[in-house]
C-alpha cells in the first residue's frame, strides 16, 4: 500500500460522493430527501449526513483530536447546510491526505489498526452507503448513477 494509491482512491471517493449528491439535488424535492425508506439510516438526507460524519470522525483521529461524536442529521434542515459542512470536511481530509507519507501508513492509528486500514475503510464505507442511496433512489423510481471503480479508472465517471 502506498499513499499515492490511497490518494487516487480518495479522488474516486470524493468524485462519487459529489456525483450522487448532485444527482439527488437535481432530481429530488427536499421532502424526498426526508422520506423514510427502511434502508440503513432511513432517509437520503441521513445517509449523506452519515457519510460526511463518518469521514470527519475517522479523519479527526489522524490529527489526534477526540472523536466529535455522531451528528444528529436533523440539525441539517436544508441542502446548503449539508453541502457547506461536506465541503469543509473534504478540504480537511485532502489536507491530511496530502501530509501523509508511505511510512505513515504503517503507523498505528488506534490499537491494532494501522493508518492504511482506516483510510481503506473510509473509502469502502462510502461505497457501501452510496449503494444504499442507490437503493433508496430506485424506491423513488430513479436510476442512480453508476459507481463502479473500474468506470472511474476508465474515465466514464
The model's pLDDT over 49-62, given as tens digits with 9 standing for 90+, comes to 999 999 999 999 99
pTM, full prediction: 0.94
Please give the Cα distance from 24 to 125 (Å, whole number): 19
pLDDT at 128: 97
Percentage of residues of the chain with pLDDT beyond 70: 99
Average pLDDT, the chain: 95
Domains and CATH numbers, the chain: 3-153 (1.20.120.450)
The model's pLDDT over 41-96, given as tens digits with 9 standing for 90+, comes to 999 999 999 999 999 999 999 988 767 678 899 999 999 999 999 999 999 999 99
Please give the Cα distance from 62 to 123 (Å, whole number): 15
Amino acid at each position: 500500500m502506498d499513499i499515492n494509491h490511497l490518494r487516487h482512491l480518495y479522488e474516486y471517493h470524493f468524485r462519487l460522493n459529489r456525483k450522487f449528491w448532485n444527482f439527488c439535488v437535481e432530481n429530488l424535492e427536499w421532502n424526498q430527501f426526508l422520506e423514510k425508506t427502511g434502508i440503513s439510516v432511513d432517509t437520503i438526507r441521513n445517509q449523506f449526513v452519515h457519510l460526511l460524519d463518518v469521514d470527519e470522525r475517522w479523519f479527526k483521529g489522524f490529527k489526534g483530536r477526540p472523536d466529535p461524536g455522531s451528528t444528529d442529521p436533523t440539525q441539517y434542515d436544508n441542502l446548503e447546510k449539508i453541502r457547506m459542512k461536506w465541503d469543509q470536511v473534504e478540504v480537511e481530509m485532502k489536507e491530511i491526505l496530502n501530509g501523509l507519507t508511505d511510512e505513515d501508513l504503517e503507523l498505528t492509528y488506534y490499537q491494532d489498526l494501522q493508518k492504511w486500514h482506516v483510510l481503506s475503510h473510509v473509502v469502502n464505507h462510502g461505497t457501501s452507503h452510496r449503494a444504499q442511496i442507490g437503493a433508496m433512489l430506485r424506491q423513488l423510481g430513479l436510476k442512480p448513477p453508476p459507481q463502479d471503480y473500474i468506470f472511474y479508472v476508465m474515465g466514464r465517471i
